[in-house]
Amino acid sequence: MAFLAVEDRAPKSRVVGRMVIGLLVAIVFLVPYLVMFLGSVKTRDEILSYDPSYLPKDGWQWDNYSAMWDTPETPLPYNLISTIVIALAATVLVLLVAVPAAYYTARFRFPGRLAFMGLVILTQMLQPAILTTGLVREMLLLDIGDTWLAMILINAAFNLAFATWMMHSFFAAVPKEVDEAAQLDGAGKFRTLFTVNLPLVWPGIVTAVIFTFVSAWNEFAASLVILTTAENQPLSVALTKFVGQYNTSWQFVFAISIVSIIPVVILFFFIEKRLVGGLAAGAVK
Amino acid sequence: MTTSTASEPEDQAAKPATRRRPKPQGGGFPAALPWLAPALLLILVVVVFPAGYMIYNSMRHIGKNAVDDGWAEPTRKGPDWGVFSNFGHIFTDPNLPRILLNSLVWVVVVVVFTVVISLVLAQFLSKPFPGRRLVRMAVVVPWAASVVMTTTVFYYAMDPNYGTLNHLLEQLHLVGPDGFGFTKSPVSALGSAMAIAVFVSLPFTIYTLLAGIQSVPADTIEAAKMDGAGRLRTYFSVVLPQLRNSLAVAVLINMINVFNNLPILQIMTKDLPGYESDTLMTYIFKTMQFDKRIDWASALSVLNFAIVALIVLIYVRVVKPLKEV
Amino acid sequence: MKKTWRTGALAVAAIGALALSSCGFSGDKGGDSASGSGGGSGESVALTMLIPTYSDGTKGLWEKTISAFEAKNPNIKITLEVQSWENIEGVLSNKIQSKQAPDIYNGGAISSFAEAGQLAKAEEITSPETLANFTDSFSENEKVAGTQYGLPLIASDRALFYNKALMKEAGVTDVPKTWDELLEASKKIKDKTGNPGYGMPLGKEEAQAEAAMWILGAGGSLGDEQNITIENDQTKDAFAQMKKMMDAGVTQSNPGSTQRTPMMSGFVQGKMGFVYALPPTAADIKKQNPKLDYGIAQPATKDGKPVTLGVADRLASFSQDQAKKDAVKKFMDFFFADDQYLAFVKGENFLPTTKSGATAMGSDEALKPFIDLLPSSKFYPTTNPAWSDTDAAFKALLGKLEKSSAEDIAKEIQAKADAAS
């Protein structure tokens, strides 16, 4: 069990103390989703029962998890694929765009540097939610209304600020000597960035990747109006299809919500170890 | 420490070996362009048009039928400000002062609590202990879940009739058999919304700080310990200053996102009549949904944007997040 | 070596994703519409249709109708978009701004679109036979300045649902017909059973409907096509009576911030004495709690004379060009014919708006109380352009009745209505 490994030499009592606190922290962060999960295995009537119970009383409705994939309301398998494609592509795009910009602005002074960083942060202040009218028109003008590409561009554009600023602060913390050494070896700027700097800033990349992926994964306002074909819509929009005028299929809403958390946690599982490392691992001698 | 060997010909000045050195000069903006072009292109293509369109709409008259009837005209009650009459309308709105105050309280309370709790938890999660990875994964879950759904679950659990939280409180005899109406009064609804906002902002902030802590060289901390500094003193004199950059970015992004947050308040205050618990963001959406006036909503959005920009400007001036450590 | 591989993989992934993403799933899944064999009268027409979700069956019902229609009319292709009630109007206004207004729209208020000339007239999108088949009072309600635009789709009215078991337990023998009786009976239920006697949802969801039930019950009205009259004696009377119910403690707690839907599930579960409810609630009870011992009666009014609030939703068309209008006409004639139409109305558990539909469904036992009440139904003045502001004002302000005075609330709502007209 790799995750049980202890890397330092803290006294045993302190380690036990940390484990207890850790358990409490985990519980606090998970309880709402436990409620969500328990709701997802109840019947609709039980969720809205005036005589609530914590655990399902009428049996655990595991078939909510199979029934939700095939409902008349929304083509859920397609929605899942759309969400994955849009979020992954937007994240990759953000990295491709933000890393060079962050590196250069952190390493070099040039006129317009502050203006550029200011422009970038403006994109964070403007959220798609209040720009939907313009976004719809724009995507129709570009002739990519109702496509994944439209949402990939939108998600990337409105989320590049954090990645750029975060990576900027990490690149800025990498000592110049690292670059200089690489360049003495004859490396160009691109190679210096990719082979020398990037491995040192993994924690920043990880945080930026999660931030972008999660934002794109859960984006709602623009997807709602831009993606009109049910198959193209992401899970966040698909969920609303279960909300009727006078009744809502809460069991499906909860089940889909639980399912949509999983890919993000899996992504996190694979990149979490990169949080350690970088400068702390002592790459700088 | 070595003296710097300049990477660029312009930067010839060898500086003393302090941590604060000017950066090497690039070759001016043209040299920077290839590095910035992708980001600039993305912003120009995607963001500029809708932002401009919002500003344009704020100066047009767009009635309930969503049709643009030309430049803005003064409304019945609002002053005649020419094409800025939509702004005249919103500035004379009697609800505005309360809404601005709410927005301010909302952003300050949520960000302060988020940051303080995150600093503590990030420090804790940087310490090694068995199962740490699992705890870190638990912490990421509220981030992974959509804010809408997290809020919905809270709203559901807080319902006086079928909510499990109220059920628990009833069993513990903390509230009467009718439950407590968390979302039924402005104060408790706003308070609950703030708690949820802190809850969903924590993972992002914790991870940003955690990433920052990872880049604090271990030997610096060791050195402080060797000097006999206590744990608190080590934290405040060594760790916190090293966290400055991550903290600055985390606070900046949090301020913007919390100010612009819509779903939490929208869900938690949806039961309440009137505008006592609205922030600028929820008010914009009420204007769209109930008044069905895109022009007024656009004017409010421009105001919203101006306020956020102002806050960010002040913040950047005071905190200087772009400054090197 | 490993790093180079990783960078390479990243680039490949990026290119792959971008290549993929330029497409997305195509909206046209139903095959090419050009394959029109026999009946193709000219070139193919593509229509867009935007509809809200009434229940979890809505999308399925429309899809069935559309595929049956497309099979008969191979040169017409209908793209269906379904949205929740909460989102549909926002989506619509975005579409209008981008000149993508739907050819078929199922909505609530449409008079502002009609006034601005954005809608096709009813006679342009139905045959005279179909148009004549709508129940007259519903057609009348769709007229803006004398011209009919909307086609009444489904109707409902509200009746008093009473829980027989709770009434028995509290010793209430007669179903209340007047305000005083309702208050009295509710009080007994509250005192004897501990359950709320009367469910009063004044939250944003449908505050205007609850208000209308009481205002109509006081002999008042909400106004007509020209005037919105809220601030008058009948309204104040109604509001005062509502306050009396709240002050007597016979309602559920926090009526000012209670949404209708969650409250209704309390009645369905047998935890409430009286509520005003719609036909679908009867269907919900049958499905969720068939054991519930309840009855349906006329609403309680000030003087006991029956009157209720009727609501009809409608289909309308934003089509501008003739080919599309003709295609919409074909669809409407197809849909409003009894076989398709009755399947839809029954599926949604609402009341029909067509004469032949009413005849066919008149014998339906479950709907009978509602059909009987239809003649005494009054409607929202939806054709008055100021109504949507008034409606918004009810939703935003009525909940304050719990704490403010009846006069103040009536005045505030009237002020909003006046500001709009």
- pLDDT tens for each residue of C94-130: 899 888 999 999 988 888 898 888 999 999 999 999 9
Range of the domain at C271: 157-310+383-420
Percent over 90 (pLDDT), chain C: 58
Whether residue C141 is found in the same domain as residue C243 = no
**Is C326 part of any domain?**
yes
Put simply, whether C385 touches B (Cβ < 8 Å) is yes
| pLDDT, chain B, mean | 83
Q: Which of B63-67, B93-97, C295-299, C316-320 shows the lowest per-residue confidence on average (mean pLDDT)?
A: B63-67
Q: Minimal CA–CA distance to C137: which of C406, C377, C384?
A: C377
Percent over 70 (pLDDT), chain A: 93
Whether residue C318 is found in the same domain as residue C289 = no
Q: Is the pLDDT of residue C1 over 50?
A: no
d(C-alpha A98, C-alpha A103), whole Å: 8
Q: How many CB atoms lie within 10 A of CB B102?
A: 22
* B49/A97 Cβ within 8 A: no
Please report residues of B whose CB lies closer than 8 A to that of C395.
Answer: 290
Please report residues of A whose CB lies closer than 8 A to that of B43.
Answer: 119-120, 123, 157, 160
Q: Which of residues 112-151 of C touch B (CB under 8 A)?
A: 112-113, 115-116, 118
Residue, of A8 and A14, whose pLDDT is higher:
A14
Nearest chain C Cα distance for residue B273, angstroms: 5
Q: Is the pLDDT of residue C32 over 90?
A: no
Bridge pairing between strands C147-148 and C151-157:
unpaired
**Is C358 part of any domain?**
yes
Ramachandran angles phi, psi of C311, nearest 5°: -135, 135
Q: Which of B32-36, B192-196, C327-331 shows the lowest per-residue confidence on average (mean pLDDT)?
A: B32-36
- End-to-end CA distance of chain B, in Å? 17
Nearest chain C Cα distance for residue B308, angstroms: 25
Please report residues of B whose CB lies closer than 8 A to that of C251.
Answer: none
Please report residues of C whose CB lies closer than 8 A to that of B76.
Answer: 419
Q: Which of residues 241-270 of B touch A (CB under 8 A)?
A: 245-246, 248-249, 252-253, 256-257, 260, 262
d(C-alpha C52, C-alpha C349), whole Å: 15
- ipTM for the complex shown: 0.84
pLDDT at B6: 37
Put simply, whether B185 touches C (Cβ < 8 Å) is yes
Whether residue C126 is found in the same domain as residue C188 = no
Nearest chain C Cα distance for residue A92, angstroms: 6
pLDDT band of B8, cuts 50, 70, 90:
very low
Residue, of B23 and A75, whose pLDDT is higher:
A75
**Is C2 part of any domain?**
no
Residue, of C224 and C24, whose pLDDT is higher:
C224
Please report residues of A whose CB lies closer than 8 A to that of C261.
Answer: 246-248
Overall number of domains in chain C: 2
DSSP label of A8? S
Q: Is the pLDDT of residue C198 over 60?
A: yes
Q: Minimal CA–CA distance to A107: which of A163, A167, A171?
A: A171
Please report residues of A whose CB lies closer than 8 A to that of C289.
Answer: 45
In chain A, list all ranges with CATH 1.10.3720.10.
72-281
**Is C5 part of any domain?**
no
What's the CATH code of the domain at C86?
3.40.190.10
Put simply, whether B70 touches C (Cβ < 8 Å) is no
Whether residue C151 is found in the same domain as residue C213 = no
**Is C109 part of any domain?**
yes
Whether residue C349 is found in the same domain as residue C285 = no
Q: Which of A22-26, B36-40, B321-325 shows the lowest per-residue confidence on average (mean pLDDT)?
A: B321-325
> Residue range C168-180: average pLDDT?
94
d(C-alpha B95, C-alpha B87), whole Å: 14
pLDDT at B324: 54
pLDDT, tens digit, 9 for 90 and up, residues B23-47:
555 568 888 888 999 999 999 989 9
Residue, of C402 and A23, whose pLDDT is higher:
A23
Which chains border C (3 or more CB–CB pairs < 8 Å)?
Answer: A, B
Side chain identity, residue A47: I
Residue, of A231 and B69, whose pLDDT is higher:
A231
Put simply, whether C258 touches B (Cβ < 8 Å) is yes
Determine the angle formed by the axes of helices C179-193 and C233-247, rounding to 10 degrees. Answer: 10
* A260/B145 Cβ within 8 A: yes
* A146/C27 Cβ within 8 A: yes
Whether residue C390 is found in the same domain as residue C244 = yes
Residue, of A7 and B136, whose pLDDT is higher:
B136
> Residue range B290-297: average pLDDT?
86
Whether residue C296 is found in the same domain as residue C399 = yes
pLDDT, tens digit, 9 for 90 and up, residues B239-265:
788 788 888 888 998 999 999 888 899
Nearest chain C Cα distance for residue A136, angstroms: 7
Whether residue C51 is found in the same domain as residue C152 = yes
Nearest chain B Cα distance for residue C92, angstroms: 9
Put simply, whether C262 touches B (Cβ < 8 Å) is yes
Put simply, whether B308 touches A (Cβ < 8 Å) is yes
* C284/A133 Cβ within 8 A: no
pLDDT, tens digit, 9 for 90 and up, residues B150-170:
998 999 889 888 888 888 888
Put simply, whether C84 touches B (Cβ < 8 Å) is no
d(C-alpha B217, C-alpha B238), whole Å: 10
C-alpha to C-alpha distances, C222 to A97, C92, C136, C307, nearest whole angstrom:
58, 27, 21, 13
pLDDT band of C217, cuts 50, 70, 90:
very high
Put simply, whether C30 touches A (Cβ < 8 Å) is no
pLDDT at C19: 54
**Is C10 part of any domain?**
no
Please report residues of B whose CB lies closer than 8 A to that of C397.
Answer: 273-274
Greatest mean pLDDT among A180-189, A248-257, B214-223, C237-246 lies in C237-246
* C14/A92 Cβ within 8 A: yes
Whether residue C304 is found in the same domain as residue C269 = yes
Q: Check if the beta carbon of residue C151 is closer than 8 Å to that of residue C316.
A: yes
| pLDDT, chain C, mean | 87
pLDDT at C411: 92
Nearest chain B Cα distance for residue A207, angstroms: 6
Domains of chain B (ranges; CATH) run 99-319 (1.10.3720.10)
Please report residues of C whose CB lies closer than 8 A to that of B262.
Answer: none
Contacts of residue B249, defined as CB under 8 A and 6 or more positions apart, other chains included, come to A162, A165, A166, A169, B208, B321
CATH superfamily of A72-281: MetI-like (1.10.3720.10)
pLDDT band of B9, cuts 50, 70, 90:
very low
Bridge pairing between strands C274-277 and C159-163:
antiparallel
**Is C139 part of any domain?**
yes
Q: Is the pLDDT of residue B7 over 60?
A: no
Q: Which of A165-169, B318-322, C62-66, C269-273 shows the lowest per-residue confidence on average (mean pLDDT)?
A: B318-322
Q: Is the pLDDT of residue C11 over 70?
A: no
Q: Which of A197-206, B128-137, C28-37 shows the lowest per-residue confidence on average (mean pLDDT)?
A: C28-37
Side chain identity, residue C330: K
Q: Is the pLDDT of residue A153 over 50?
A: yes
Q: Is the pLDDT of residue C39 over 60?
A: no
| pLDDT, chain A, mean | 86
Put simply, whether B21 touches A (Cβ < 8 Å) is yes
Q: Check if the beta carbon of residue C269 is closer than 8 Å to that of residue C287.
A: no
> Residue range B191-195: average pLDDT?
94
d(C-alpha A105, C-alpha B31), whole Å: 12
d(C-alpha C243, C-alpha C405), whole Å: 8
C-alpha to C-alpha distances, B230 to B124, B221, B224, B244, C365, nearest whole angstrom:
17, 11, 9, 20, 81
Q: Is the pLDDT of residue B325 over 60?
A: no
Residue, of C173 and B270, whose pLDDT is higher:
C173
d(C-alpha C235, C-alpha C160), whole Å: 20
Whether residue C202 is found in the same domain as residue C335 = no
Whether residue C228 is found in the same domain as residue C141 = no
Q: Check if the beta carbon of residue B143 is closer than 8 Å to that of residue B204.
A: yes
* C266/B273 Cβ within 8 A: no
Which of B95, B170, B184, B266 should we substitute to test contact with C (largest number of C Cβ atoms within 10 Å)?
A: B184
Please report residues of B whose CB lies closer than 8 A to that of A259.
Answer: none
Q: Is the pLDDT of residue C250 over 90?
A: yes
Residue, of B175 and B114, whose pLDDT is higher:
B114
Whether residue C364 is found in the same domain as residue C389 = no
**Is C150 part of any domain?**
yes
pLDDT band of A9, cuts 50, 70, 90:
low
Put simply, whether B76 touches C (Cβ < 8 Å) is yes
* A93/C20 Cβ within 8 A: no
Contacts of residue B65, defined as CB under 8 A and 6 or more positions apart, other chains included, come to C96, C112, C113, C115, C116, C118
